[in-house]
Structure 1
């Protein structure tokens, strides 16, 4: 019995070390190189599903400035003009930091407002109703926790 447990524990430890080593090699060989100068990255227009737009004619613009080597995390800038009201569907976890402007949000049965300097986290698989009175400029970070993590999170709700 003790020998079986020792073999099992050793197997788990070696598997964890192998996975850690694999991720370290992937990071070193696939990560973006460090910047050696400034890069000007203008925001560009993009379209959303027209059924998401509830009022107004929002002008959506964005630019992605970072993507992790494994594609699970990315960051960027988002801008939208108001007045406009739209529904946003979150495919991944998204945290935002409001740089300029503001928004009134209805999310998961709660209503709140965000202004410059505020931050919030939205979970994958949810949606929020955004009302942008004048305009908003925000930084965003998307993170894909993976199907097992999202499945477990939904079970624990």
Structure 2
């Protein structure tokens, strides 16, 4: 009995040491990969980007965007997006939270229709599609998060 208790205690100690080492390793990787904190304003230029032309349903969106943050593990990113008057589909590869900075948009998403304007926020799930109708102009801040393939698959199953 004494040997079993000793073996169990050793197993627990080794497991805790392994978990501690893993946490220390991950923390070290995070610190090494994280950019330095801002010490001054950083300019951000929105650059044109293309999407699948089949996504554009009407108008000329003239999409522009820039990323200003990426987490050390690459799973979370944030940026600014801007477009002109248009109607288009948006296919979400990742979970995306948005905050409208300027302009407005009518959105059809998961069977619901809603209006977003400056000061509003919304969340879109990976594996879904929304129809966006921008009447004049839209500028938004976005944050996307990649929860991984298993989470995306589960989300798609739960939305059916």
TM-score by length of 1: 0.88
Shift in CA distance, 36/136, structure 1 to aligned 2, threshold 3 Å: same
String of CA shifts for 1:33-70, please: whole Å, max 9, x gaps: 11111111111111110000000111100010011111
1:118-153 deviation line (CA, Å, top 9, x unaligned) = 000101111100000011100000100112322343
Where structure 2 has 5 or more consecutive residues not aligned to the other structure, the ranges are: none
Aligned equivalent of 1:28, options 12, 28, 31: 31
**TM-score normalised by length of structure 2:** 0.87
- The Cα shift of 1:14 comes to 4.7
Range that drifts further, 58-67 or 5-14: 5-14
2:77 is the alignment partner of 1:67: no
Structure ID, larger Rg: 2
CA RMSD of aligned residues (A): 2.2
Cα distance change, pair 27–106 in 1 and its aligned pair in 2 (3 A): same
> Distance between the aligned counterparts of 2:75 and 2:107, measured in 1?
26
Give the whole-Å Cα distance in 2 for the aligned partners of 1:40 and 1:146. 31
